[in-house]
Amino acid sequence: MTTYWCERAWLGPADGVREGVAIGVTGDRIASVETPAAPSPGAVVLQGLVVPGFANCHSHVFHRALRGRTQSGSGSFWAWREQMYAVAERLDPDSFRRLARATYAEMATAGVTAVGEFHYLHHGPDGVAYADANEMGHAAVAAAREAGLRITLLDTCYLSAGFGSPVRGVQRRFSDGDADGWVTRVEQLTAAYAGASDVVVGAAIHSVRAVPAGQLRTVADWADRRESPLHVHLSEQPAENADCLAATGRTPTMLMAEHGVLGPHTSVVHATHLGPEDIAVLGDCGVYACLCPTTERDLADGVGPSRALVTAGAVLTLGTDSHAVIDMNEEMRAVEMDERLISLRRGTWHADELMTAATSNGQSSLGFLGTSGLVVGGRADLVCLRTDSARTAGTGGDAQTAVFAATAADITDVVVDDSPVVTGSRHMSLPEAARDLDAVVGEILAAS
């Protein structure tokens, strides 16, 4: 058994922050939680505030190559998408793995212990499958393992460029032809990771514009049979809603409800532009609502109705999406701050709720069941952040410190399934990840 002695630890909304917490770990699970306790001989001492591991529930890892490079001039999401496609066109399995490994290492240093990779870079740039049709997916899994993270590979079905439009250009590498072709490939991927405790193979529907209505059910049925996570971009842009209404007479939410996509294993990502009926349906279905505030503001998407969704019955989770920022403390904070800007009211969200969204809610939405925080039976994921930095000193060292004061720069130690991944703010196995990231991004952007 490993024992971690925490100067302070957040034990969940009911118990809050306690001082002098001894956490005993057997295997990858927490076996005991004692407080107040003195540090025992041989215990790993964590000075500061310890919280459960963060779950980054929505990642497009290759978007990290665009950070800081898309901010000149003006435009919309659609202009940004063309820049993203230019990067997608240049990646091969080796450069993708190197980019993903360094980006996942950045996530680890930000306290992320599990990532949901919304993965649609399946084939070669010309749309022809690699010898192993899942080579790009394997590269993502290998990168996460090298960085010390658990991964839910949300293998994405992407079949059309829009309602009634075939894929074109770089989109050809996203497509399996039809949903049955997607199932055939994903069955092979699932078999490759059968029994793995650190990998979940889930499903994703890119969007209503990328999967024809008649094929939505095929993807949903595959996920239902396995009780696997099913994630989908939903109503991120007003244009998506308008096009869906014109093509089907329904909003994206209603179209997905009609085809059996929505349920307690479903995560709707962004959910930014919803009507009251959409919100009611999503709540009734008990979906996870994954907001990515730093990306949504970077892409000028808008502010989603987070409180209304949760009041209706949805469960809040968080992601960093395009990785304009990788900082789960900032994602938590931004949910409340964005609400203040549109509601002119403070306190829509409380710190304990946002901590739960970033930790146990997120882990469950990725299929890592039984992960319920720093409690007996929970996964042995611990994240320690400083309470004496220029940002956190004098803030009380509680959940409000983690949400409303701290940043990723305050995280000193990260343990994933009882394995130390970050110590002294340094990634233990990938200490040169920043240098590696700089090199691989330069190579990708220089490629013709």
Query: What are the catalytic residues?
Result: 270, 321
Query: C-alpha 49: how far from its chain's center?
Result: 23
CA distances from 438 to 99, 224, 443 (A): 9, 40, 9
Comparing C-alpha atoms, which of 248, 257, 247, 261 is closest to residue 218? 261
CA 158-278-310 angle, to 5 degrees, is 100
Over the Cα atoms of the chain, what is R_g? 21
Q: For residues 204 and 187, what is the distance between their CA atoms, to the nearest angstrom?
A: 14
Contact between 286 and 264 under an 8 Å Cβ cutoff? The reply is: yes
Q: If DSSP states are collapsed to H, E and C, what string results for the chain?
A: CEEEEEEEEECCCCCCEEEEEEEEEECCEEEEEECCCCCCCCCEEEEEEEEECEEEEEECHHHHHHCCCCCCCCCCHHHHHHHHHHHHHHCCHHHHHHHHHHHHHHHHHCCEEEEEEEECCCCCCCCCCCCCCCHHHHHHHHHHHHHCCEEEEEEEECCEEECCEECCHHHHHHCCCCHHHHHHHHHHHHHHCCCCCCEEEEEEECCCCCCCHHHHHHHHHHHHHHCCCEEEEECCCHHHHHHHHHHHCCCHHHHHHHCCCCCCCEEEEECCCCCHHHHHHHHHHCCEEEECHHHHHHCCCCCCCHHHHHHHCCEEEECCECCCCCCHHHHHHHHHHHHHHHHCCCCCCCHHHHHHHHHHHHHHHCCCCCCCCCCCCCECCEEEECCCCCCCCCCCCCHHHHHHCCCHHHEEEEEECCEEEEECCEECCCCCHHHHHHHHHHHHHHCC
CA dihedral for 33, 34, 37, 40, sign (positive or negative): negative
Contact between 160 and 209 under an 8 Å Cβ cutoff? The reply is: yes
The length of the chain is 448
